[in-house]
Amino acid sequence: MVQTSPEAVPQGPAGVKGSIAEKAAKPVKEAVPIVAVTSKTTNLAFSKAEDVGELMNFLASDELQGRDTGSDGIEQAAAFIEKLFMENGIKPYFETYRDTLTNIDQPAYNVVGFIEGTDAELKDEFVVIGAHYDHIGTKSPVNGDTIANGANDNAAGTSTVLELARYFGTMKPNKRSIMFALFSAEEKGLLGSKHLAAKLKEMKMDLYTMLNFEMVGVPLVNKDYIAYVSGYERSNLAAICNIYAKENLIGFLPTAKEFNLFMRSDNYPFHMEFGVPSQTFSTFDFTNFDHYHKVGDEVSLMNFDHMASLVNKFVPVVEGIVNSQVREIKYK
Ligand SMILES: [Zn+2]
């Protein structure tokens, strides 16, 4: 654990940070990513509110018409995600980034990329980081607005995954392989994740854990943790996260258990297929946001500072999880 903590990664970008000052007189080699040094030392500098804002302002724009599965709007979102994967060194896992759903009667695609692990043995193990990028499209008008923009649900989770993809795609500090999966048709009944989980199971993927992000656009209020995880009591995931985060990042939300949120997002099909810890992180608790599945789920209500901060807090968590020598996260 210590070896993969943010301060003490023995190899890769952080390992060379001391040498930069020593070699100040010499030209810095291309292989020394300045951004990595900044993010490793301050741990809050990678994702900024403006970065998150740029993603959110596109994904939740009226132009995308609520990103309903099969629509022109979600097609634009898919193309946007593919472009970001390409720009950030994320490779397609399949022939292309598109994973065509075979369980729905409409053109629908998960967008799937991956970063191969750096360790000869651990690279065969995968950590899937996911979020659904579809939403419910349009609804009957409220004050003339018909577009359910789905800013919190789930442009927010999508942006979080895209920011993590940008970090890991640029730094590549992962011994295990990481798959980034943006799911379609979640709102139709978890269809995208059902399709992908079954397909990966069929391909015999060695899945360590699936970490999913849902509705993280608005902070929790009066809690002593930053986010909760669905299925909290089923595994030690929250405890492992908090060790790597070095703070009480993940807590238990009783409402999540009461409403069985564990079964209500894209982690669930992975749990069913693989039986390995597959859980969803969220900062929506049914009291801090009034626009769930309504036309009022607008980007103007999102807190980009909170979102960027959450990304930065998750960077050392994901680094710890993808680099640990043994599989620490376990179901109880
Ligand atoms: Zn939803």
Distance from residue 89's CA to the centre of ligand 1 (Å): 29
pLDDT of res. 12: 34
The C-alpha atoms of residue 231 and residue 220 are separated, in whole angstroms, by 18
The C-alpha atoms of residue 332 and residue 329 are separated, in whole angstroms, by 10
User: How far out from the chain centre does Cα 183 lie?
Assistant: 11
The C-alpha atoms of residue 41 and residue 18 are separated, in whole angstroms, by 11
Distance from residue 293's CA to the centre of ligand 1 (Å): 6
| Comparison of pLDDT for 30 and 168, the residue scoring more | 168
Distance from residue 237's CA to the centre of ligand 1 (Å): 24
- For the segment 200-225, the average pLDDT, to the nearest whole number, is 98
DSSP string, 161-176: HHHHHHHHHHH---SS
Which sign, positive or negative, has the C-alpha torsion 153, 154, 155, 157? positive
pLDDT of res. 28: 41
Question: How does strand 177-183 pair with strand 125-132?
Answer: parallel
Q: How many residues does the chain have?
A: 332
Distance from residue 272's CA to the centre of ligand 1 (Å): 20
Distance from residue 313's CA to the centre of ligand 1 (Å): 24
Distance from residue 168's CA to the centre of ligand 1 (Å): 27
Rg of the chain on CA atoms, in Å = 19
Beta strands (DSSP E) in the chain are 91-92, 98-100, 109-115, 125-132, 138-142, 145-147, 177-183, 206-213, 227-229, 250-251, 278-282
Distance from residue 153's CA to the centre of ligand 1 (Å): 5
Distance from residue 54's CA to the centre of ligand 1 (Å): 22
pLDDT of res. 45: 86
pLDDT of res. 9: 32
| Residues 89-112: tens digit of each pLDDT | 999 999 999 999 999 999 999 999
Looking at the DSSP bridge assignments, the partners of residue 96 are none
- The token pair at 64 is 């995308």
